[in-house]
Structures are given as structure tokens and as C-alpha cells.
Structure 1
Amino acid sequence: MPLMQMVPLLMKEENKEDYEPKVVSFGPYHHGNEKLKFVEDFKPTAVQMFIGDNRNEADFMAAILGEIEYARSCYLEDVTCRYTDIEFAQMMLRDACVILNYFGPNIVDKSYKEAETINHHLGIAVYSSIRRDMYLLENQIPFLILEILVALRYKTPRHSFIKAMERDSFKMFFNGKNGMIEHAEANDDLGKNPAHLLEIFRRVIVRGPDHDPILRDNECGCCNVNDMLTRLEEGCGKCCKDDENEEWHGSQYVFRSVTDLKSKGIYSKASGIKSLKGVRFSPTRFCRSAELKLPFMYVDMYTRVFFKNMIAYEFSPNSHIIDKSVTGYVSFMKLLVVTEEDVKEMRENKIIINSLGSDDDVVQVYKDLNTYEAGDTSYFWNVKKDIEDHYHSKIRTWMAEFRTTYFNNPWTIIALVASLFLLCLDIVQTYYAIHPVPN
């Protein structure tokens, strides 16, 4: 089974443009497309930009030819049979140089000149669209080819190049100031040999930092009534939960959006965790409402294309991905983002950065993403379960309503305290009226 998969026809039938390149082809699947000729003509220039004036292109071709059998085996044989080894190696060299000039070893002066040169030849609209075409499942080249060229050009170890690409990808997706990725687990995929650039992108957004810079639940200094509420629910039985939703089936959710959750006392908040797994749910406490913490996400003109191809990658036969975290995240967000009010709420809470313009455009992005009703075995399943339990808990809902009614602004707090004070005075006055103090 080749590493570079084609997108299933079922997915392409919805909107095949989201799976096809707009300006540049990488690899053989879309090579030779007439509409991509503009950037294709630029590729020899990209090769010279990368190898420099003091190196010979033949050296780079020879290095690729040394791995040509592996490179061919990454694609469907029906496609690679159209090219000789020399033609295929030249395609790999040119495509890799376009990627490495756009997104490669970060040398400040050189990077600025490369961007300026590419802009001069292609224009800024085409230049920015190259990033979009890097997201496509069918538009990938073996990561080994990139490693070979970088090692030959810069004499850098393979491991350091992978780390550099992970760091730069992290900065691109999460706008990290230092671009550092923390290894969440000893056995995670960070630093390991990827099949292609799309795998680097996925591991960065999924396997990023997993710690919470905000206080954890057990670090809150206020009174935790969670255990008390749980015991009350167990004692009250059916009266504490909606009768018709007593059993939770794991795949059907009653809550439908961020504003719907807010009506039940569950408020959304930015988690500060730069990873798609940066989702935390904190149940109702006496001093604050329940919180759903979500990682912030840029939504721009390429978001739909990125997630569609990432879902296709997670469902591809040779991906070896067991935990479909990106698909689980998209499925979760489709529950939360239903109306413009939901987007507004998340935008005001700095969860969504909207680069599209209107909030309705963001809603449409998530509507266009199809998860094909895949069974959710990801990290988000437990979060949905906790939210659903809280959503149907009448005791927690009453507490949220009580807090909203009486503790949402200083005037209601003052009125409540004054009422309690007057009630205490009435009780004391009544007591002494019945039991007068002897002279």
C-alpha cells in the first residue's frame, strides 16, 4: 500500500476542488495539469534558489536517484509508470525545492530574499496559495526527499531538520512566539520520521503542549462542591436528571451549541493550550460556573481545505492513525458552532480568530466539513460525556441559575445580602417576641 494516498471518490464527490491544487503540484498525481503551468515554469528557478551558485544540480539529482525506488513506491504504480527514473527524480527535486524555499531551514537574510524573489516571479496571491496547496493529501512528496536535499545543502543532521520543521509548523498554526513544542508523552510521534509534510502538520496540531497554563480544577482555592453535587444526584435518582435522557448512548447529544450550553450555565473560555486536545471541562463550583475551555483557532480562507484533507488523511488506508483526533475535534466543533451567535461568543472569548469577515462565513466552514458519522473514539468522547451529564443535571442547572441570578453583578449581591440580613432580623425579632428576655 503506497504512502501517498488518493482521496476517496466519496469525499471528492462533495467538492473536489478542496482536494486539488490551485497553483502548484507536488508529486506525480497532479503533475502536468495545464492550469498549474505558471508555477511549473518557475520550478527550475526555485532549484537554483535552493542549491545556490556554488553547487551542482547533478549532485542533488544523484542523491535523489539513490532513493528513487523508495520514492516511486510511495505512489500508485499506475501513475509512476509514466515517468523514467530521471524524469521522476527531476520532478522530486523541483517540487522539493519549491517547498524548501517557501517553508524550510530558517536563515533570516536568505528567507527574506527567497520570499522577495518568489513574490517577484509569481505575485503575492500565488505565493500565499502555495501554503494552501501544501495541505492537500494528494499533493505530497516523501519527506525523505526533503531531508536528503537539506542534508546535502546545509550539512545538517536528519533529526534536527525534522525538529526545525515541527517548530516552524507550530509557529504557523499557533502563532507561538518561540515556536517550541513540548513532548506530551515519551512515546508520541514528535521527532520521528514522518511520511510527508502533511504528517508533520498533523502531529504538531495534535501532539503539541498538553499542560494547562490556567489553574487546574484541584488548584482552585474556592470551595469545590462537585462531590456534594454528585452525591445529591445519586440520592435524588431520576428527579435529578431528565427522565427521557436517563441513559446516555455516547453518540447522540442534546446540547447543540455554545449559546445552548451557556443557557445551562456552561461558559466557554480560551484554554491557552496550543493543541487541538487543549479542551478542558470544569463542572460547576460554588464560586464559579461550569467552564468549557477550548484552544484558540484561526479560521481563514484555507481552514476548510486543511481540515478536509486532514480528515481524508486520517481515513486513508495506509495512515496507521488509530486516534482520529482531528476528525474528533471537527465533530466536536460542529456541535458547538451552529449559529452566528455561537461564533460571536467564541470570538469575544478569544477562542476563534475570524479572518473571513462575517461570523456566518465561519458557521459555513464548519457546516461544510463532513466527518462521515465516524464513531468517536478520540479524546473528545469523554469531554462530550462530561458535558452531557452536566447538561442534564437539574441540580447543577439550578446552581448555575442561582449564581447567574444573584452573583452576576454587585447590585444583585447587595440585594441578596440585604434580604438575608433582614430575614435574620425578622427571625431574631420573632424569637424574642415569643421568648422575651427577663428583666
Structure 2
Amino acid sequence: MATTGDNEILVHPLLPQPKSEQLSVPIEEMIAKFDKSSEHLWRPYQELICIRRVHEKLHKTTEPSSYAPLMVSIGPFHRGKENLKAMEECKLHYMSNVLNRTREHHNVESIQKVFRNCVESIGRMEDKIRQCYSETINLESKEFIEMMVVDGLFIIGIFHALTGKKLIDDKFLFHNIWGKNTLLWDLLLMENQIPIFVLERLFNLTADHKNKQKGMSFQGVALNSFKDNIELPRKINTITKLQQSSPGEGNKHLLDLIAKSMHPDTHPNNEHVVQINSSPFSKCTELITMLKYALLQVFKYIIIFISPTPNSSHKLSGSVIPSATELARAGVSFEMGPDDGSFLDVKFDDGVMTIPRLVIGINTGRFFRNLIASEQYFDQNGSPYYMTSYAIFMDNLVSSAADVTLLRNQGIITHTLGSDDDVCNIFNKLCSDIYLKDDYYADIHRRVNIYYCDRWNFCKATLRSKYFDNPWAGISLVAGSLFLILSLVSVILRLLEYFKPKKAA
């Protein structure tokens, strides 16, 4: 055994004995490197990690990247980027306005006291905040705390301005709509976040006396700011309703807050419930009902036999369903769902698919990508992958501009884009390189495919489209069918008469 300082190295006796001087430096360097590289593996708040970088390959799927801010950096990941430096002065402006609202009797010292409280409070939380990021943040303590305070108070100042609390001067930002919208969408990027408990602490420390009396919460102000100023894919009053009823616990950051505000309250209908009338029927009524059913079944199978086999290029399994136009040819009808629920509340019952209205704007694809990325990178703790499931569902349903047109005509899709093709492209590009662990719409997919594969549904749809769109064509079909049935009954009666044994004289 050869020793090198405090480190003992086991060496086989038949091997040449190395000099301790040669080993001591490399071993010490290796240990130091290991200690430094493994710092993030032994963290007391490992479960707090909630802000991650998106994989580089996802950044390259769109140009510019859907995951990188266009106007303002929040937190450490995009800090210092050249194209975002112009907003640093704007941050100080809104931070100053927030602090000025706390002034008591024009006393400057009261502002300094509030600011000092903010810095000290965030300083006490520094270790916990750092643990919320998936990688070590290489900033000195002073710089890190300053970033959290400035970015946090900037966001609060923006929300105060958006919710009607006029600040001293809005010339920095709100003189143009593009700037306001771009900023708000930047606040909903997965990589552009600070922990929500930082924002809540700063909000409470800077709340004026009136707001404290009203019991206003940061999450309520945040929801109001987003719902009133950008095109979120759901109706405004739904978020207001959720804001009033939800305790808002467990939210990690702003993107997580908005995502959870859109989650449905119930699971999709898992089975079609059929109610059977148990009232007694007379024997005569039962016989007539059975005969009607038998005739309809005969008619059904005759139609199926003479109808061509529907052309289906789909391998109907798993999360794959036909497009909207293909389902329509199979007799599926589409209806717009109620506006007082989540846009994720899709239902399918007896050939009727109910889909809540979806509002699509220029930033919808960007927003959806960040929601999906957030689900992909974090364990949902048993909850379904809501946004990933919805993206796959819509990707199947919308395969062409014709599918978008069909849904738009039913009021299901409303968009402000140039064409229906643009809407189609959004959904068709959302699902690249994503993983679905728990499909929220699995049961709907199963029942849709069962309905689609039933040839009788195609036949009914064909009859409706060819003969019953025009009332005269429908009357002609019914009259012709009655004539055919009466002729058939007449032939049967004559045959029975012919073969009936004659009585002996």
C-alpha cells in the first residue's frame, strides 16, 4: 500500500510503485472537482425544484424560440442578454412606483424602510429560492437578492398598472399595445420565472393600507392582470370564478398559476349511461316494438351490405382518432360546449362531440408549448397531463384547414390569425418530441374509435346527407320505401295463398 498525504491508495504489489508526488495533485483536483460538480445533488430543498431550462432541441423547433423572452428577462436564465437589456431601466421605474405607493405622509424614510424590509426578507429566503432552480445559479449573494427584489417588484408594478391602479408615469411601456402584450406573454415562459412565494412576500410587504383592508392577494391580482389583457384560450369570467373559489395553494410560479386555473373540475365522461324505462307494456305494444326493431335491423343490414366500405387510413388505437371531417362523414356532430367551464372539458356521447370554445391568437402556440414543456419536465404527482393530452387530441382532430373550418363554423374555434391553415399549423407542430404518460382523453378516444368503426353510422350519415337534407328527397325516399315494403308484403301474401293447401270437396 502506498500513501499520498492524507489519501491512501491501494496498489497491487506486482505493479510499479508510483511516486506520491505524482498522485497527490491529480487526486486532490479530482476530489475538488467532484465536490463542486455534486453540490446540486445534495440539496436540502431538492423537492422545491420548479424552474428548469427547456431542452435545446425544443428551442430550435420554432424561430424565434417559443421558450425565450422577446422583451424582458425575469430570473437568472436569460439575465444579461443583449436584446433584453433595454428593459432594465423600465424595471427600476416600476419598482420605484411600487415603493412610492407605500409612502406615509410624504416621508421618504418610510420608502427606504419598506425597501430594506424587502431586501432583508428575500435575503433570509435566498437558499430556498436558489433550490427552486434546476441548476446552480452563479451569482453572488448580493447580486442574486437584488435580481429577485427588482424583478419581483417590477412584476407587481406591472400588475398594479394593469388592474387600474394608476402609477406616476406609464410612458415606459403602455403607450403601445404590442409592448404590453409581448411583456405579459414573456411572463408566462417556463424559463422566465421566479418562485411565486417571492412575489407573494414582496406583494405583502409593499401592500398599502387600502389593499390590506380589502384582503387582496397577489394571485388574484395576477389572474386579473392576465385575463383582462391577453387572449387566453378560455372565457374571462371562468378565471374570475376560479379566482374567487380556489385557495390557490401549491402554485409554483406564474405559468403554473395560469395552467392550474385552466384545469377542468371533472374527468371526461367515462361511460355512456343509458336509462331504461321500467314501466310495464302490454303484450300488444311489446310485439309491435319487437316487429319494428326486427324490420329496422333488416333494413340496417341491407343498407350496410349494399354500401361501400368506408375508406379509413387510420390505425385506430391508443391516442389516435380520425380528423373532424372524417368523423363528420361517420355521422359525428360537433357542438360548442358551455363557456363556464374549462376549455379542456371535451365530451363525447352518442355521436355528439362537445368541445368548449377555444380562442386562438398569435401567441397561443407559444403559450401552449410552454404549458406542455412544464408538464413534460415535472412529475404531475398522479394528475393527468392535461395540456399534452389536449394538444394530441387537437392534433388528431385538426389535420387540414377543412377541419378548422368545420370547427370554426360550429363556434368551437375562434381565431385572429390570417387563415385556417395557420391554425392547423399550430396544432400540427405542437406535438414534436413530447411524451404522454397519462392521457386525459383516453376513454374519449376509445369510444370515438368504436363509433367511427361502426359501418352503420356511416350509412346513417350518408342517408342524412343524400336524402334528408332536401325534404322532397326525404319524402320520395320514404314513399319509395313504403311502396317497396307493400309490394313485398303483397308478393308474400300471394305466395302463401298459392301454397296454401286446398280443402277437399
Q: TM-score, normalised by structure 1?
A: 0.78
Say yes or no: does 1:119 pair with 2:173.
yes
| Contact 1:295 1:351 survives alignment (8 Å) | yes
Distance 1:293 1:429 in 2: 47
2:456 aligned partner: 395
Q: Which shows bigger deviation, 327-336 or 147-156?
A: 147-156
1:28 alignment partner, SS class: coil
Structure 2 CA distance for partners of 1:419 and 1:243, relative to 1, 3 Å = closer
Matches within 5 A, 1:13-412: 13-15=60-62, 17-53=65-101, 54=103, 55-56=111-112, 57-78=115-136, 80-84=137-141, 86-103=142-159, 107-108=163-164, 110=165, 116-119=170-173, 123-154=176-207, 155=212, 160-163=217-220, 165-166=222-223, 173=232, 174-177=234-237, 179-181=239-241, 191-207=248-264, 249-253=317-321, 255=322, 257-273=323-339, 274-283=341-350, 290-317=351-378, 320=381, 322-372=383-433, 374-375=435-436, 377-412=438-473
Alignment partners' CA distance in 1, 2:315 and 2:78: 50
- Counterpart CA distance in 2 for 1:194 and 1:19 is 20
1:339, 1:294 → 2: CA distance?
18
Give the SS at the match of 1:180. Answer: helix
**Code of the aligned partner of 1:347:** R
More moved, 163-172 vs 297-306:
163-172
Counterpart amino acid of residue 21 in structure 1: P
User: Structure 1 431/211 Cα, relative in aligned 2: closer, same or farther at 3 Å?
Assistant: closer
Unaligned stretches of 5+ in structure 1? Answer: 222-227, 284-289
Where do 5+ consecutive residues of structure 2 fail to align?
1-45, 104-110, 278-292, 498-505
Question: The residue matched to 1:23 in structure 2 has which SS?
Answer: coil
Secondary structure at 1:387 match in 2: helix
Q: 1:406 to 1:217 in 2, by over 3 A?
A: farther
Residue-pair matches, total: 403
TM-aligned CA deviation for residue 319 of structure 1: 5.8
Aligned equivalents of 2:420 and 2:190: distance in 1?
28
Code of the aligned partner of 1:9:
E
Q: Displacement of 1:261 after TM fit?
A: 1.1
Q: Which amino acid aligns with 1:282?
A: D
| Residues 71 and 376 of structure 1: CA distance in aligned 2, closer, same or farther (over 3 Å) | closer
SS in 2 for 1:411: helix
Shift of residue 182, structure 1, vs aligned partner: 5.3
After superposition, the C-alpha distances for 1:304-346 in whole angstroms (9 at most, x for unaligned) are 2111111111111466464111001001111111111111111
* 1:190 CA drift (Å): 5.9
Tell me which amino acid in the other structure corresponds to 1:175: K
8 Å Cα contact 2:359-2:414 kept in structure 1: yes
Q: CA deviation at 1:127?
A: 1.9
Quote the Cα distance in structure 1 between the aligned partners of 2:469 and 2:253: 51
The aligned counterpart of 1:9 is 56
Conservation of the 8 A alpha-carbon contact between 1:268 and 1:346: yes
Choose 1 or 2 for highest CA Rg.
Answer: 2
CA contact (8 A) 1:29 1:139 kept: yes
Distance 1:272 1:168, change over 3 A: farther
Structure 1 117/321 Cα, relative in aligned 2: closer, same or farther at 3 Å?
farther
TM-score when normalising by structure 2 = 0.68
Query: Structure 2 vs 1, CA of residues 318 and 103 (structure 1 numbering), >3 Å: closer, same or farther?
Result: farther
Q: What is the identity percentage for the equivalent residue pairs of Structure 1 and Structure 2?
A: 24
| Cα displacement string for residues 60-89 of structure 1 (whole angstroms, at most 9, x for unaligned residues) | 2233223222212212453x23232x3222
Once the two structures are overlaid, the 10-residue window that deviates more, 336-345 or 368-377, is 368-377
- Report the secondary structure of 2:414's partner residue: strand
Q: Is the 8 A contact 2:118 2:202 kept in 1?
A: yes
Return the alpha-carbon distance in structure 2 between the equivalents of residues 149 and 44 of structure 1: 15
